[in-house]
A and B are shown apart, each in its own frame.
Chain A
Amino acid sequence: MIEEYLNRLKRALIKKGIPEADDIVQYFDEIIEDRIEQGEDLEEVLRDLGEPEQIVKAFGGKEETDKKEKHTDETDHTRSVYYGIRTIKITNTSYDFEILRSPDETTVFECESDDDTMMHEQVGDTLNIEQDFPFYGQGVNILQKMFHGSFNGGDVTLYVPDGCTMLMDNVSGDIEVQGLRLDQLNIDSVSGDLELEDVAAQNMKINTVSGDIEMDDIVVEETMKIDAVNGDYDGDRISCKNIIMNSVNGDIDIGLNARRDQVDVKATSLFHEKTSGGGHCDHKLRIDTVNGDISYHFLTD
């Protein structure tokens, strides 16, 4: 009887296009077994849980817009689930982004905004997310607002599946990235701050003008390239064998997951002190600044 019930549940979930069907069935299987173990009658348990078709209604499914969550202050909430995404391209001006790891192979885009300017669309295996910024006819005010960060417009939460490539162009939004396992990660930011935590990628390229970069627990298999003009870079527990950092004014402070004797360091600064050392090791750290301070430390330092 349990199997019949669970099969019905699974079919109903698949019919509704819910990607985690197996997970959900396992979850209910566990709960049913637990309740029986606690002495409840199987028939009563199944009756209490309800018809599988009813349960499935609580689980959402394909493209979903929470119309009932539209408040009188005109805040829009949208949530879209995408399948088969391998590349994500983001062009953002002012929204703040929280980019997290998807627990499965779906890509989920959630957006809360009061100006409805963030477009999102799947083209093949690419997800394009672009802010349609109302530049025209507004003159210098727009640029001033952007750089003073008083344009919010909205918040995006994005769940990204493993193995994707993410290319992001950002102006002033603050970007938080956590837990991702990517192929390629490129972020170009102007004044928005970037915070990366527990991120792994084959290759990473980060560019910032005045936004600060903070990263902890990062693993890059091939090359990590960081370019900053004014923004400061603060990194800790970084695992990468080929790190290239360039800064004009920004300070660089990096903590590596490698021993001092494993890393070949070349750190030069035009106006500040130069350091180098390590000889020929399999880890390379190259830091070049004009005016920024440089500080690096290793395991057991």
Chain B
Amino acid sequence: MEVQLKRGSLEVCVLASLLKEDSYGYKIIQSLQEVVEISESTLYPILRRLEASNCLKSYSVEHNGRLRKFYSITEKGKDKIKEYLQDFQELMNIFNYIAKEVRKDD
């Protein structure tokens, strides 16, 4: 998939994984791996960017004698998801147009 498109989509994917409940690194990767290829190295900069742009917040919780970093989505993060879905509608229109023209060509 084209780099720019995928990067934006991955960010929104991560945000969406936090909608139902807060989550942490390992768990986020587990829940996304069924949908898209995402490695630990890919996830880190995404979490960084999202936190820097206030789309999510982080906090630490003790777990078995170590600290686990949890992430929670913010209102701005939810807006970003909404925006993505709206943009996607436009993308669908473009897709349908292209598919239609390709069919004509056959």
Contact = CB atoms under 8 A, between A and B. Distances in A.
A100 B64 CA distance: 35
B86 interface: no
Contacts of B44: 24, 27, 59
Given A31-B25, A31-B26, A101 B68 contact: no
B11 to A, nearest CB: 14
Contact of A100 (B53, B67, B69): B53
Interface in B26-70: 26-27, 29, 40-42, 44-45, 48, 51-54, 64, 66-69
Given A30-B68, A34-B26, A69-B4, A55 B41 contact: yes
A34 B68 CA distance: 9
Contacts of B53: 100
Interface in A66-116: 68-69, 100-103
Contacts of A58: 41-42, 45
Nearest to A27: B44
Nearest to A34: B26
Nearest to B45: A59
Interface residues of A, number: 27
| Interface-centre pick from B3, B27, B44 (highest chain A CB count, 10 A) | B44
Main secondary structure of the interface of A (DSSP, over half): helix
A29 B66 CA distance: 10
Main secondary structure of the interface of B (DSSP, over half): helix
A33 interface: yes
Given A31-B26, A59-B41, A179 B48 contact: no
B69 A27 contact: yes
B7 to A, nearest CB: 10
A178 interface: yes
B41 A100 contact: no
A215 to B, nearest CB: 16
Contacts of B40: 27-28, 31, 49
A176 to B, nearest CB: 11
A103 B69 contact: no
Contacts of B69: 26-27, 30
A119 B52 CA distance: 23
Contacts of A11: none
A75 B3 CA distance: 15
A58 B29 CA distance: 17
Contact of A34 (B3, B25, B51, B52): B25
A267 B26 CA distance: 56
B25 A27 contact: yes
A159 B29 CA distance: 27
Given A33-B66, A34-B25, 20 more contacts: A20-B48, A26-B67, A27-B25, A28-B40, A30-B26, A30-B66, A31-B25, A34-B24, A34-B27, A35-B26, A38-B26, A58-B42, A58-B45, A59-B41, A59-B45, A60-B45, A69-B4, A100-B53, A102-B52, A103-B48
Counting from the closest, the 5 A-B pairs by CB-CB distance are A34-B26, A58-B41, A31-B26, A103-B52, A31-B25
Interface of B: 3-4, 24-27, 29, 40-42, 44-45, 48, 51-54, 64, 66-69
